[in-house]
Amino acid sequence: MTLKLENVEVKIQAAPILRGVSLEVGTGERMGLVGRNGAGKTTVLRTITGLATLSAGKVLWNGEDISNMPPRQRALLGFGYMPEDRRLVPDLTVEENMLLPAWVNKDIDAATGLGFVYDLMPELTEMASRKALLLSGGQQKMVALGRALIAGQKLLLLDEPFEGVAPALAKRISEVIASLKEEGLSVLIAQSELSHSLDLLQRESVIERGEIIKVNVIDHALAGAT
């Protein structure tokens, strides 16, 4: 299950936002996408989900060109997306918020998705019937992660999953993401700083002004990981 971007160009109102972006995320790999605000990280994730339109280049999934596939079909391939803002509906419960993608896209297998998420994050079972507005910011991030996993059981795209999250919850989110390797999930994590996830990532692509300028292999000994 390999994701590949080949020379992807995206323009917004004629302005070049992504300029020849190429990257590859292998089965079970956790790849970082690191860059400053405005570098183009969110646009890369939106291109993979199909929400942003390419003006050139290709998005490949297991070698198949999916550049023109609509977002709802990509969800059925097992793509999950957690946007930077959590976008939970305050008056809906935790479970209802997680089921939103399946309400919108009837082809998503909600029961399987929900079972997968509750096995992975039992704490969400305990808060399933609480309204989203009663949760802390970090708990809301957990729910948003759960929601991304309802469909995203092959490729998970996370935009700033640790931003504004207290250390204990950030550690828990990190643990959950790490455990996905056993499920063979590929994960791409966009963030402006690496601090929370150095030991979580195998590689990081560095993006600057819409271009990948380098790919680093994370040295876990140096990062202090075991």
Ligand X SMILES: Nc1ncnc2c1ncn2[C@@H]1O[C@H](COP(=O)(O)OP(=O)(O)OP(=O)(O)O)[C@@H](O)[C@H]1O
- Beta carbon of residue 121, minimum distance to ligand X (angstroms, whole number): 25
Beta bridge partners, 112, equal: none
For residue 165, the tally of other CB atoms under 10 A from its CB is 22
Nearer to ligand X, 126 or 208 (CB): 208
Q: String of b and e for 7-37 (b: at least 16 CB within 10 Å)?
A: ebbbbeeeeebbbebebbbeeebbbbbbbee
Structure tokens at 19: 């300029």
- Beta carbon of residue 37, minimum distance to ligand X (angstroms, whole number): 3
Nearer to ligand X, 112 or 192 (CB): 192
Nearer to ligand X, 129 or 192 (CB): 192
Beta bridge partners, 61, equal: 3, 64
Which residue type occupies 135? L
Which positions touch ligand X (CB under 6 A)?
12-13, 17, 35, 37-43, 192
Nearer to ligand X, 109 or 163 (CB): 163
- Beta carbon of residue 163, minimum distance to ligand X (angstroms, whole number): 9
- Beta carbon of residue 215, minimum distance to ligand X (angstroms, whole number): 17
By CB atoms closer than 10 A (0-12, 13-18, 19+), residue 124 is buried
What is the gyration radius of the CA atoms in the chain, in angstroms? 17
DSSP codes, 44-95: HHHHHHTSS--SEEEEEETTEE-TT--HHHHHHTTEEEE-SS----TTSBHH
- Beta carbon of residue 45, minimum distance to ligand X (angstroms, whole number): 8
Nearer to ligand X, 37 or 195 (CB): 37
Which residue type occupies 209? R
- Beta carbon of residue 222, minimum distance to ligand X (angstroms, whole number): 25
Nearer to ligand X, 29 or 159 (CB): 159
